[in-house]
Structure 1
Amino acid sequence: MASVEEQVVETNGSAPEGSQIPVENPATGQVIAHVPDMGADEVKEMARKARAVQPAWEALGFEGRGRILKRMQKWVLDNRDEIIAVIRSETGKTYEDAQLAEISYGAAAFGFWADNAPVYLADEKVKSANVLVKGKKLITRYKPLGLVGVIGPWNYPLTNSFGDCIPALAAGNAVILKPSEVTPLTSLKLLEGLRECGVPEHVFQVATGRGGTGAALTDEVDMIMFTGSTATGKKVMQRAAETLTPVSLELGGKDPLIVLADADLERAANSAIYWGMFNGGQTCISVERVYVEEPVYDAFVAKVTEKARALRQGSGEMGTADVGSMTFPPQVDIVERHVEDAKAKGAKVLVGGKRGSGAGYWFEPTVLVDVDHTMECMTEETFGPTLPIMKVSDAEEAIRLANDSPYGLGASVYGKDVHRAEAVGRRLESGAVCINDSLVNYTALELPMGGAKASGLGTRHGAGGIRKYCQQQAIVVTRFAMKKELYMYPYNSRVTKLLGKTFNLLYGRGKRD
């Protein structure tokens, strides 16, 4: 097996001098590989090759593509330790974070889309009340767009980057993935697996590079799927508008967790700590802010503080660390800025609050109290291992504050009266809400995953998560027909009056105010 760096060179070929991107291990700060920073001409050539092979991939049908995806499902599990090693080398995750959020998702997704693509994309027979199409066969067909571009983030290089390619491939599209320049190695490893499992050459390609590579990709494809910050998502949408290229965007989040007075505080505290610190807090739907009803605030804070102090941070082997390093150096700066801003405005740091010392990109798991909405940690996406906790007088205040955000990706509500907790959840402006749980909606691939407000456009998962990679085509089949329809030329007054009476009979019986 070639080394990671050798695989990069073999997969992408040579690049002009000076156009290589260094890839760092964020836990150590050491450069572990280099990948090409591909230009517009290279992306254009990749697109040409992809379009040439896409018809044959589509012609395999759901069954043929499904067999390859099922082989890939097994490949991921058979090679999990190698994949985890690559993921950890470029993200700084713990072993457990990589296995739970990346390997388990990848393995599930390959099987899910192999099984469900034929279901979600099957021809749909349609019935119509219009007399003009009576007796005709009406069909909605889902036809692959052709070439899909995916621009992925650095926080989940398998799940949120490569993962969006799986349904696009299952639908019959060719795919070009532009992974984050911070974490490109996982995508290249999975390209290796797809080739081993039988995906034809050029059906799936990886375009390594910086922002210019993503812009070039947007110009060449029939649809673009982007996951990342809201600011960058707007730029992608602006670029796509120039060619009227459809977009699907999964953007930023500032997900609230509400603790009602009757909540199981032990479960709520465990969930807040785990889903706030999971993957170093670098999860689009992580718990980013907590609102606790006043009667249980002190008890909840005490539990969270105790659990946060027990967290182990490091980059050791399986079972030795709970929270890994951060992945993207500028993100550490943002986390530090949010914590310092909160402190300057009166917040207290109960646990952590500082950068890690030594090599790599580390920030301590941090718990903040006495926070409010004048502070960046409660209003801007932090994307790091922080948990700000705010006391509220009642559920109404919690709902108001939870909705006081431009974001609306996910939310959580904890309360033993599940009917009341669900009622609170239904009032939150969020694409997903979990009751007495957090984030687990993402593992239910049957559910749509998408954001409200500035958190994105479109969804992944569910029927919509694969239909967005298709063009809906309406088909009308006339089996038994006269030589000439009644309404055809030449017009005459008798037929026109007859049609007018028919329309009145069909549509003129509605109630009027």
Structure 2
Amino acid sequence: MPEEALPGWKGGSILMNPSIQDPAHPGKIICYDPSTGRHLATIPAHTKNDVDQALARARNAQKLWQQTTFAQRKIVLQSLLDFILLNQENICRVAARDTGKTMVDGKFGEILTVCERIRWTLAHGEDALKDEYRNPGLLMFYKYAKVEYRPMGVVAALVSWNYPFHNTFGPLITALFAGNGILIKASEQAAWSTMSYFAKIARSCLEACGHDPELVQFLVGFQDCGEAVVTSGVDGITFIGSPQVGAKVATAASATLTPCVLELGGKDVAIVNKDVDLHAVVPILMRGVFQNCGQNCIGIERIVVHEDIYESLITMASVRIQELKQGPPLEEKNVDCGSMTMSGRAKVLESMVHDAVKQGATLVHGGKAFSHPKFPQGQFFAPTLITDVHPSMTIAQEEVFAPIMSVFKFSTLEEAISIANSSPYSLGSSVFSRNLKEGHYIMDRLRVGMSNLNDFGVNYLCQSLPFGGVGMSGYGRFGGPEGLRGVCHQKSVTVDRWPMLIQTFLPPVLQYPMTNVGDAIVVTRDLVNIIYDGWLGRLRSVVEIVKVMAIGANEPEQIS
């Protein structure tokens, strides 16, 4: 446990205008608490040479790891789960110190999700990766047909900063259970928590279970480090971040045809039908919008409300938003919203809000940076409520990743669906309706990767489900069987079912060199008919094949 995350720590100089990089020292990452501005550490940024060495070490360790049994891998995951349960307060404090999130947000987003990923993998991962037997079809009735899932080798995960523990350990759990080594390139925004604590947990766990800790390599750095990982020769890539950077990752990976899973954020919508109980729905919407200060890829960024309950919902949400307490979560009690992790976001967000108001939206609360009286260097943005939003506005199209509740109005279901599908992002969605028929009607017409009826984000707690989106939200899936199989090579295999009784046999007429191509054509035609024609056609073809085998067809080859 690093001392900077211990209760009562007041060390670290307060940085003026804190930033993770100093132009005078471009090879260093300046780590600080974004909720207070306290300096935590200055860490060397990894370079291409570091990446190459890390890959070599991981490849060497993976040679032995891929030979381990599922039982051995389960011991590692169970050990990790035990550690998390015993040390969840420490993990949350470290994450809070590095990102400015609250402890409750840490419990939801860091601990709960990772524990559920481990539980599901322990219970169902082996079934997802065991050899899968398929129907060989009538043509190959004498064969066993199966798919084998074999580890890719060493994969890479380039992960975002909003949940540094979860985003690191999610791909790690999947990669290790499938038999891979992994390079984890953490965001420079979360370099301190990754290198001072989280990396040590993973490597110590492997070592304690008798395995080479070099199987897992942690890297932190700037753009050049990420580019080096993508082009290093890893066997698969998972990227979590913005569409702009994701496009660059895909382009770079295409040079070596390295497969990618891209999770590129969202602009998730919640459609609230007129028949709902607002006393039940509004608290869920508040959690969906303001958890982790809105810094969630599946956070609710657009609330589309039926005109009959539009004013009532705004009134109820407004009262709650006014009462939200904002501040540094490790310095003050009862904090609802922590800080923005990335510096410089306030000006961008203020511009979006201002632009929306100019176009007719109504700013009810917030809309600007919040200056904390005790910690003016903290990176806070006030919890914001903006109404009368329209799809054409920038705030309705671009991902805000902030504590901003944007409310739209609709009168018909088709209008609600149109508003929901107007965003280029298509990750998750929520539909709230007591009328299940109408709820399903809406969900069926949303262009998204995930939907929840009368809930928010719970598809991610169902680890049996794949996670991902379409459009600007990326492609590929992690989570569930699809996620485990996605870090494997899928090998198709056939073997003889009764090797002593029947094997593939080519009659003389089909053997090279062919003495009579005309006869060979007749035989292959009849073989096709035997498998796919009706019963009379099959019987006729059997007779013809017997005739050809006995006396030949004596049909000339048609060549003109």
TM-score, length basis structure 1: 0.93
After superposition, the Cα gap between the structure-2 partners of 1:352 and 1:56, relative to the gap in structure 1 and judged at 3 Å, is: same
Q: 1:100-499 counterparts in 2 under 5 A? A: 100-131=108-139, 133-188=140-195, 189-198=197-206, 199-220=211-232, 221-317=234-330, 320-357=334-371, 358-478=376-496, 479-480=499-500, 481=502, 484-486=505-507, 487-491=510-514, 492=516, 493-499=518-524
Deviation of the 1:455 alpha carbon: 0.5
Q: 1:3-22 counterparts in 2 under 5 A? A: 3=3, 19-22=27-30
Deviation of the 1:314 alpha carbon: 1.7
SS of equivalent residue, structure 1 residue 329: coil
SS of equivalent residue, structure 1 residue 416: coil
Deviation of the 1:267 alpha carbon: 2.0
Retained in 2: the 8 A contact 1:152–1:162? no
Q: What is aligned with 1:28?
A: 36
| Range 471-480 or range 17-26, more displaced | 17-26
Retained in 2: the 8 A contact 1:162–1:177? no
Deviation of the 1:117 alpha carbon: 2.0
SS of equivalent residue, structure 1 residue 388: strand
Retained in 2: the 8 A contact 1:407–1:454? yes
Deviation of the 1:18 alpha carbon: 5.7
Distance in structure 1 (CA, Å) of the matches to 2:53 and 2:534: 60
Retained in 2: the 8 A contact 1:331–1:383? no
Retained in 1: the 8 A contact 2:101–2:329? no
Q: How many residues align?
A: 498
| Range 65-74 or range 493-502, more displaced | 493-502
User: Given the alignment, which residue of 95, 100, 109 partners 1:92?
Assistant: 100
Q: What is aligned with 1:12?
A: none
Unaligned runs of 5+ in 2: 6-24, 536-560
After superposition, the Cα gap between the structure-2 partners of 1:27 and 1:121, relative to the gap in structure 1 and judged at 3 Å, is: same
Retained in 1: the 8 A contact 2:45–2:220? yes
Deviations 1:386-421 (CA, angstroms, capped at 9, x unpaired): 011111122111100110111110111111112211
After superposition, the Cα gap between the structure-2 partners of 1:483 and 1:327, relative to the gap in structure 1 and judged at 3 Å, is: closer
Q: What is aligned with 1:8?
A: none
SS of equivalent residue, structure 2 residue 525: helix
After superposition, the Cα gap between the structure-2 partners of 1:284 and 1:2, relative to the gap in structure 1 and judged at 3 Å, is: closer
Show structure 1 runs of 4+ deviating over 6 A.
Answer: none
Distance in structure 2 (CA, Å) of the matches to 1:442 and 1:350: 31
Distance in structure 1 (CA, Å) of the matches to 2:398 and 2:63: 45
Retained in 1: the 8 A contact 2:417–2:445? yes
Unaligned runs of 5+ in 1: 6-16
Deviation of the 1:3 alpha carbon: 4.7
SS of equivalent residue, structure 1 residue 295: coil
| Range 193-202 or range 295-304, more displaced | 193-202
Distance in structure 1 (CA, Å) of the matches to 2:457 and 2:164: 18
After superposition, the Cα gap between the structure-2 partners of 1:299 and 1:500, relative to the gap in structure 1 and judged at 3 Å, is: same
SS of equivalent residue, structure 2 residue 214: coil
Retained in 1: the 8 A contact 2:136–2:144? no
Retained in 2: the 8 A contact 1:96–1:319? no
Distance in structure 1 (CA, Å) of the matches to 2:357 and 2:68: 59
Which residue identity does 1:312 align to in structure 2?
A: K
Larger Rg over CA atoms: 2
TM-score, length basis structure 2: 0.85
